[in-house]
Amino acid sequence: MTQAPVPPSVAGAWREGDPPGRRRFVTGTQALETGNAVPFTLAYETWGTLNSGGTNAILVEHALTGDSHAVGPAEDGHGSPGWWDGLIGPGKAIDTGEFFVVVPNVLGGCQGSTGPSSPHPQGNSWGSRFPAVTARDQVAAEVVLADALGIDRWAAVLGGSMGGMRALEWAVSEPERVASLLVLASTAQASADQIAWAAPQLHAIRSDPGWHGGDYHDIPGAGPHHGLGIARRIAHVTYRSEPELAQRFGRRAQDGEDPLHGGRFAVESYLDHHAGKLSRRFDAGSYVVLTESMNTHDVGRGRGGVASALGRITARTVAAGVDSDRLYPLYQSQEIADGVEGAEFAVISSPYGHDSFLIETEQIARLVKLLLG
- Show which residues are catalytic: 161, 325, 354
Closest CA to 346 of 319, 308, 307, 315: 319
Q: CA-CA distance, 197 to 175, in Å (whole number)?
A: 31
Q: CA-CA distance, 287 to 327, in Å (whole number)?
A: 17
Classify 127 as helix, strand or coil.
helix
Q: CA-CA distance, 162 to 199, in Å (whole number)?
A: 16
The answer to whether 344 and 319 are in contact (CB under 8 A) is yes
Classify 79 as helix, strand or coil.
coil
